[in-house]
């Protein structure tokens, strides 16, 4: 660990120990002002006003510790003292450091939002797209450096905020998918709110991310030039002065080529390396699928019947906070385990049987059958469940398949009715069908001049035509197949239903 990292680590020392709430209250006094200096008496008075009663000598000791850790600094201003006592009183004043202010804000924000569900603002992606398009329209040879830096900042600021939000939200989804101790309100929230919300957000993110990726691909050849122009700020001047070892300056986002590579990694996919957006959406879909399965299982077995985790966690908190003299009474009330008696059978990894006089605190772990743990006895219960009548489910499944088949046939007829694909207007289902056919045809033989694939009642022929592209319009955007012509005909082995 470097000296700088050790200094940064010491800023969090005030969170350790039983006095951390006192340190937190003291830092709150300083963080509410800028450039304010307080003496121990001032801090004591403000703490008392906030309901925290501490002796002034204890406050002074806490202030000195915060100075040692780097959260506070000692004021060097003494003003115009009128006496020696006044001089020492003025010298004994403290103010918060920049690092101390940042750490306090980080800790307070984490404590306030630790159980909150943060919304994902997809509007930030729209801001990123607009800023990228404006940046792409600039003439790098003539544009002013300040204007260029502001344009780059408008790209990276909303992107950083969006990545923080979506990463935290999907991390919460990953945590929720393994929850088996849901209460009624939580079950309703997951089943009626979260699943639909995630689906809507994923669709919106994917729709907005595609044009951002195309713009970034256009900007890729110019990203090094943009980074070099933006870099000409404070960080470069410090580097030219040879002060990088002593003065740490945070470089603006977008002033390094790797910043643009990181940005492109979120929206631009490479062969064998999907974009970060694609990976996150796949993980979110998988997590929601697991969560939905768990919700279905919980609704079948009955709420709370499959897990007593929350009850045991609450009981564990009682054991953690009770006085040592009441532990035996709490254990007897919770488990019926009295102090001098050990119930159970000899432990498998212990040669000597456990005597009834051995306290359960010291005895080895006993083997308890699952039936005793879950039901309290070993009696076999119930009869074999009869086979469930699934005729209704099968009928619904057949009806659903028939509707899907009819929708597929309508889409096929729409594509065949066009005649010419280039310059046509398609519905969104027809666009998805056309994209699937083009993808499959292009994957057949990448070196062939003409690539053909048949699927259902359609045959798709993709021909390489350098300099000529195929373009179709949809209600949500335009599809351009560069250097390719596309033709849709009836498959040789099947027809399309009328």
pLDDT at 184: 60
Profile the chain (498 residues) by mean pLDDT over runs of 10 residues. Answer: 81 86 88 75 87 88 89 68 54 80 84 66 85 86 82 87 80 64 63 68 82 87 81 61 58 79 86 84 75 63 53 83 80 69 51 63 70 66 70 89 89 84 87 86 80 86 87 86 87 58
**Residue 462, strand partner residues:** 451, 486
- CA distances to 63, 96, 359 from 26, rounded to whole Å, are 8, 10, 46
**Rounded Cα gap, residues 96 and 98, in angstroms:** 7
pLDDT at 304: 45
Instruction: Please say whether the beta carbons of 440 and 460 come within 8 A.
Output: yes
DSSP secondary structure of 434-467: HHHHHHHHHTT-TT-SEEEEEETTEEEEEEE-TT
Cβ neighbors of 21 (< 8 A, separation 6 or more) are: none
3-class SS shares of the chain: helix, strand, coil, % to 5 = 55, 10, 35
Cβ neighbors of 141 (< 8 A, separation 6 or more) are: none
- CA distances to 408, 430, 482, 487, 488 from 418, rounded to whole Å, are 16, 11, 20, 10, 9
pTM: 0.45
Q: 189 φ, ψ to 5°?
A: -60, -45
Pairing mode, strands 477-481 and 470-474: antiparallel
- Domains of the chain listed by start with CATH number: 3-113 (1.10.10.10), 123-301 (no CATH), 327-372 (no CATH), 404-490 (no CATH)
SS (H, E, C) 403-427: HHHHHHHHHHHHHHHHCCCCCCECC
pLDDT at 246: 58
pLDDT at 496: 46
Q: Would you state the structure tokens that stand for residue 30, as one six-digit string?
A: 């300083």
């Amino acid at each position: 660990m470097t000296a700088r990292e050790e200094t940064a680590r010491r800023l969090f020392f005030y969170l350790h120990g039983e006095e951390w709430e006192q340190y937190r209250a003291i830092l709150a006094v300083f963080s509410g002002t800028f450039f304010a200096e307080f003496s121990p008496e001032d801090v004591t008075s403000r703490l008392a006003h906030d309901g925290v009663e501490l002796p002034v000598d204890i406050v002074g000791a806490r202030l000195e510790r915060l100075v040692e850790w780097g959260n506070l600094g000692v004021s060097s201003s003494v003003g115009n003292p009128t006496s020696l006592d006044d001089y020492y009183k003025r010298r004994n004043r403290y103010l918060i450091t920049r690092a101390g202010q940042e750490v306090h804000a980080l800790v307070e924000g984490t404590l306030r939002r630790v159980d909150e569900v943060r919304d994902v603002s997809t509007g930030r992606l729209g801001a990123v797209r607009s800023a990228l398009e404006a940046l792409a329209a600039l003439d790098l040879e003539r544009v002013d450096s300040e204007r260029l830096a502001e344009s780059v900042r408008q790209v990276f600021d909303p992107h950083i905020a969006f990545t923080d939000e979506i990463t935290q939200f999907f991390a919460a989804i990953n945590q929720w998918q393994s929850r088996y101790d849901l209460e009624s309100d939580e079950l309703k929230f997951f089943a009626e709110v979260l699943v639909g919300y995630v689906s809507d957000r994923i669709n919106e993110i994917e729709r907005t991310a595609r044009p951002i990726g195309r713009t970034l691909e256009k900007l890729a050849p110019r990203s090094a030039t943009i980074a070099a122009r933006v870099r000409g700020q404070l960080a470069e001047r410090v580097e030219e002065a040879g002060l990088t070892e002593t003065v740490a300056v945070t470089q603006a986002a977008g002033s390094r080529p790797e910043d643009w590579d990181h940005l492109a990694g979120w929206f631009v996919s490479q062969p064998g390396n999907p974009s970060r957006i694609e990976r996150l959406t796949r993980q979110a879909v998988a997590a929601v699928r697991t969560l939905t399965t768990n919700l279905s299982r919980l609704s079948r077995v009955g709420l709370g019947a499959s897990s007593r985790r929350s009850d045991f966690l609450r009981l564990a908190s009682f054991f953690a906070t009770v006085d040592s003299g009441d532990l035996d009474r709490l254990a007897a009330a919770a488990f019926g385990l009295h102090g001098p008696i050990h119930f159970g059978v000899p432990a498998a990894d212990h040669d000597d049987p456990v005597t009834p006089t051995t306290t359960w605190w010291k005895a080895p772990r006993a083997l308890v059958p699952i039936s005793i743990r879950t039901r309290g006895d070993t009696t076999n219960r119930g009869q074999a469940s009869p086979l469930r009548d699934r005729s209704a489910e099968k009928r619904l499944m057949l009806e659903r398949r028939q509707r899907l088949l009819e929708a597929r046939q309508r889409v096929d007829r729409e594509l065949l009715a066009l005649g010419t694909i280039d310059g046509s207007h398609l519905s969104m289902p027809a666009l998805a069908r056309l994209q699937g056919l083009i993808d499959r045809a292009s994957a057949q033989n990448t070196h062939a001049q003409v690539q053909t694939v048949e699927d259902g009642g359609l045959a798709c022929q993709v021909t390489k035509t350098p300099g000529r592209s195929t373009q179709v319009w949809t209600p949500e955007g335009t599809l351009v197949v560069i250097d390719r012509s596309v033709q849709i005909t009836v498959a040789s082995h099947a027809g399309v239903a009328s």
